[in-house]
Amino acid sequence: MRTHQAVGQALAATMLGFGLLSPLAIAPPRATAAENLVFVSGAFRRSIAVADLEHLAQTGQARGLLADVLRFSNQNPVEIGKLLNQSIALPVTLVSRLLNTRIGEAILQRVATVVYPLQASQVGIPALRSAMVLGVVEGNGSISALSFLRAYPTRELEVSIPALMNLMSKASSITELVRFFSESPLDGLRGDSPKAAP
């Protein structure tokens, strides 16, 4: 159960990071790493380079469009940098197992409505599962928003602004997001049958 809550916390921290950017330890980039977050709402699109997020995490200073977004949304760049650097310890074997259970699938389905490969929402769940497991492996047993992005298997990661706003309206703090990602799917599975949750 602790691992289940920790995975929810890791995903919640990532979603909260995306939410703070939505108003509009650095490894070299790999061929399979996410390079851009593309915020989409209908015809509206704005991209923020992952390199700019890494720069913010390293220096506490925002640049480019990211600086404009943080200024517009009245966010403190230093605090956002700390959030991006926040890591959560997770045992990789248990994470891998959990993400392949019904509870894990329920959590991934929720997150995959918000973030998924650009114009390929149908592969959002396997992409998330891969990024979580590889992110923990490459982080030597811990994961952060940045290590998640470095492990994401496509270069362009789409963030649905309407889905993100809907999520953020339900949870205004990381504690509430953890509850949303970990407890709510579990409650739903419990409702299916008395033995639904593995």
Q: Please, is 71 exposed, middle or buried when counting C-beta atoms within 10 Å of its C-beta (0-12, 13-18, 19+)? A: exposed
What was the pLDDT predicted at 110? Answer: 85
187 has pLDDT over 70: no
Tokens 């330890």 locate to 25
pLDDT digits (tens, 9 = 90+) for 75-87: 899 998 988 888 8
- Flag whether pLDDT at 14 surpasses 70: no
Mean predicted confidence (pLDDT) in 83-111: 86
* Cα dist from 36 to 21, 179, 195, whole Å: 13, 28, 41
Coil/strand/helix, residue 182: helix
Cβ atoms of 184 and 64 within 8 Å: the answer is no
Q: Whose structure tokens read 């033995």?
A: 195
How does residue 195 score in pLDDT terms, banded at 50, 70 and 90? very low
Please determine, for residue 168, whether its predicted confidence score (pLDDT) is greater than 80.
no
Percentage of the chain modeled with pLDDT above 90: 17
Going from the C-alpha of 176 to that of each of 15, 161, 172, the distances in angstroms are 12, 19, 7
Return the domain boundaries, the chain.
2-192
* pLDDT recorded at residue 181: 55
For the cut 60, the answer to whether the pLDDT of residue 19 exceeds it is no
- Taking residues 129-152, what's their average pLDDT? 89
For residues 112-130, give the mean pLDDT.
89
The pLDDT of 114-140, averaged and rounded, is 89
* Torsion 185-191-195-196 (CA) sign: negative
Residue with the bigger pLDDT between 65 and 170: it is: 65
* 183: confidence class by pLDDT, cuts 50, 70, 90: low
DSSP per position, 33-64? S--EEEEEETTEEEEEEHHHHHHHHHHS---H
